[in-house]
Structure 1
């Protein structure tokens, strides 16, 4: 296995405008991905996302790379705190949105595993951890969007 890129695709029963808001806005992503988020959702916006895991508070630096309303949102995360994001110190996550029927096709990719320069066992463990994590978190996305749209 290459352990270079994670790719996931799902159809969501909501307009691209709604899906874009939910994958880019820090107020919404905390309902399906991290436990806390604080960043400006515009290109160059920086901040952090926080995960609570086994009694620990794990803080990851977060930097928005691109935000094309209703089409694409991308960011880099997990670079060492205080350092600007580069290819060799962070992961790149891209959400691409395409209108499809009455909803939106969401394609998510995460790159940056091989670029970290890790030995094979560390690379494999990080890739599998993120792969499992995205399976869990993306499964929460459509139900959250359904409840958010239903409440609007």
Structure 2
């Protein structure tokens, strides 16, 4: 796998609609990725979703694509807290949801690290290595959270 792309796949025992809600609705996003408070989400291309990643900063991601309940993508400027993410300062995070029996196959992919000039003081939180580790944890969080009320 290249230093430009991170991919994580997981099977979740919850419907595609439930996983979609977990990924896109303010009260859910703040629980699996954040500080437990509702997250502002303007769910349309060009809209802003604010991710509060605690000690790592607050990130104003820019929604790129919304195709409910199958595909969701946003730009994340993890090296530049408080800046609005755009094509010059961010990676692209993509979520693809596919029905799998009564559950959901979720693929998370983040790309664009090679094109970024990450400040040295942010490499611990914004590098390919840190995100690779982070997405392993986050997909587990998504799985646990989505399965909470799915039965």
Match of 1:130 in 2: 131
Cα deviation for residue 64 of structure 1 reads 0.7
Q: Distance in 1 between matches of 2:137 and 2:50?
A: 21
Unaligned runs of 5+ in 1: none
CA contact (8 A) 1:98 1:104 kept: yes
Q: Distance in 2 between matches of 1:27 and 1:82?
A: 23
TM-score, structure 2 length as denominator? 0.83
Cα deviation for residue 101 of structure 1 reads 1.0
* Structure number with higher strand proportion: 1
CA contact (8 A) 2:24 2:41 kept: no
Secondary structure of the structure 1 residue equivalent to 2:32: coil
Matched, 1:110 2:110: yes
- Misfit runs of 4+, over 6 Å: none
Residues 8, 144 of structure 1: CA spacing in aligned structure 2 closer, same or farther, 3 A cutoff?
same
Secondary structure of the structure 1 residue equivalent to 2:53: strand
CA contact (8 A) 2:15 2:102 kept: yes
Deviations 1:94-121 (A, max 9, x none): 00011111111101100110011459xx
Q: Distance in 2 between matches of 1:3 and 1:9?
A: 18
Match of 1:148 in 2: 149
Structure of greater Rg: 1
Q: How many residues align?
A: 143
CA contact (8 A) 1:39 1:62 kept: no
- Equivalent residues in 2 for 1:44-123, closer than 5 Å: 44-53=46-55, 58-78=57-77, 80=80, 81-83=82-84, 85-86=86-87, 88-117=88-117
Match of 1:42 in 2: 44
Secondary structure of the structure 2 residue equivalent to 1:34: coil
